[in-house]
Amino acid sequence: MRAMILEQPGTPLFAAELPDPEPGPGELLLRVRACGVCRTDVHIRDGELTTATRPIVPGHQIVGIVERGGPETTTPLGTRVGVPWLGWTDGTCTFCQRGRENLCTAARFTGLDIHGGFAELTVADERYCFPLAEGPTDLELAPLLCGGLIGHRALRMAGDAARLGLYGFGAAAHIIAQVALSQGREVYAFTRAADTASQAFALELGCTWAGDAMKPGPEPLDAAIVFAPAGELVPAALHACGRGGIVVCAGIHMTDIPAFPYVDLWEERQIRSVANLTREDAVEFLDIAPRVPVRTHVTTFALEQAEDALDAIRSGSIQGSAVIVL
Ligand SMILES: [Zn+2]
Ligand SMILES: [Zn+2]
């Protein structure tokens, strides 16, 4: 099969011809139709997240068709399924036992520990594959599998915030903005001051306001979700929140957070992170998304252009999501 592989973090992915993978017990062999590209893939490529599996095939927003099931699987051949970041958990640690498998101490992640979707074929544990509704296209669905699922978890952590700030208006934010708007919330988009393209995109989607992330918005926020990996946004977001405000950090990697005055945390403001997802998050969000309905804005790339897709995300040069199409 054709695949894009990362051999050495910090070096470009390159095209390789690999043996077709074989599904083991409980695993499905999938023919990949589309795979979303996420900022986490950039962090893996750039060596900001370390992987023990090398070379690794990245890609954790996989839309694929079941081509063959390994022993003990029951999903019919031809079923269209989605494979997210959470690829395996032990089911036995204290976190799994308490319904917090996103924090599983032995978790394995797609495209980091397990070969992912930047390939013609992939193998995934059936228990972490989600049947996808008919109707939406592969391209519409792929970005939901990370930006959507983890964004949904982050939105839940933002509580009942009526005024929600989104910091970094990329793949996840453009999806979650639509969900938040459908719930009747006001959404404020915070971007780099000069990024008028993202600001215009946010306003087009129905956001109330869009502007410079380093300054507070026109009204105090009830909650903010920080998607961009820049630590200086955390105190900026906190400062933009009113009493009781919650700042949710939704990225897996961020630069250091600078010091800030205690008065910005006072009055029961909170800072918290969101890590990974549970399978329950996936089931819940894949049910919500078509009812909103979430419309993803997608820029497509061929498999061999995976580096270009990563570049585009790193530089913020595309609006919405990047998807590799097989
Ligand atoms: Zn566990
Ligand atoms: Zn992701």
Cβ atoms of 82 and 145 within 8 Å: the answer is: yes
Summarize pLDDT for 111-155 with one digit per residue, the tens. Answer: 999 999 999 999 999 999 999 988 899 999 999 999 999 999 999
Least distant ligand from the CA of 105:
1
Q: How far apart are CA 60 and CA 84, in angstroms?
A: 5
pLDDT number for residue 52: 77
Q: Name the β-bridge partners of 75.
A: none
Cα(101) to ligand 2 centroid in Å equals 17
Cα(307) to ligand 1 centroid in Å equals 33
Cα(100) to ligand 1 centroid in Å equals 8
pLDDT number for residue 123: 98
Name every residue whose Cβ is closer than 8 Å to that of residue 81 and which is 6 or more positions away in sequence. 28, 30, 63, 64, 65, 66, 75, 124, 129, 130, 131, 132
Cα(37) to ligand 1 centroid in Å equals 26
Tokens of 71: 């022993």
Cβ atoms of 6 and 44 within 8 Å: the answer is: yes
Cβ atoms of 53 and 113 within 8 Å: the answer is: yes
Cα(261) to ligand 1 centroid in Å equals 37
pLDDT number for residue 133: 87
Cβ atoms of 277 and 102 within 8 Å: the answer is: yes
27-37/321-325 β-pairing:
antiparallel
Cα(89) to ligand 1 centroid in Å equals 5
Q: Which CA distances in Å does 245 have to 197, 208, 217?
A: 28, 19, 14
Least distant ligand from the CA of 92:
1
Q: How sure is the predictor about 269, in pLDDT bands with cuts at 50, 70 and 90?
A: very high
Cβ atoms of 64 and 81 within 8 Å: the answer is: yes
Q: Is the pLDDT of residue 22 over 80?
A: yes
176-186 burial: b if 16+ Cβ within 10 Å, else e: bbbbbbeeebb
Cα(113) to ligand 2 centroid in Å equals 14
Tokens of 308: 């270009």
Which residues have CB less than 5 Å away from ligand 2 (the ion)? 38, 40, 146
Cα(168) to ligand 1 centroid in Å equals 31
Least distant ligand from the CA of 94:
1
Cα(200) to ligand 1 centroid in Å equals 42
Cα(146) to ligand 2 centroid in Å equals 5
Q: How far apart are CA 93 and CA 120, in angstroms?
A: 34
Least distant ligand from the CA of 101:
1
Tokens of 282: 């996936």
pLDDT number for residue 234: 98
Cα(315) to ligand 1 centroid in Å equals 35
| pLDDT mean over 75-94 | 98
Angle at CA of residue 253, ends 238 and 234, nearest 5°: 10
Q: Is the pLDDT of residue 51 over 90?
A: no
pLDDT number for residue 9: 93
DSSP string, 144-187: GGTHHHHHHHHHHHTTT-SEEEEES-SHHHHHHHHHHHHTT-EE
108-109/86-88 β-pairing:
antiparallel
Q: How far apart are CA 224 and CA 211, in angstroms?
A: 14
Least distant ligand from the CA of 35:
2
Cα(96) to ligand 1 centroid in Å equals 4
Summarize pLDDT for 195-207 with one digit per residue, the tens. Answer: 999 999 999 999 9
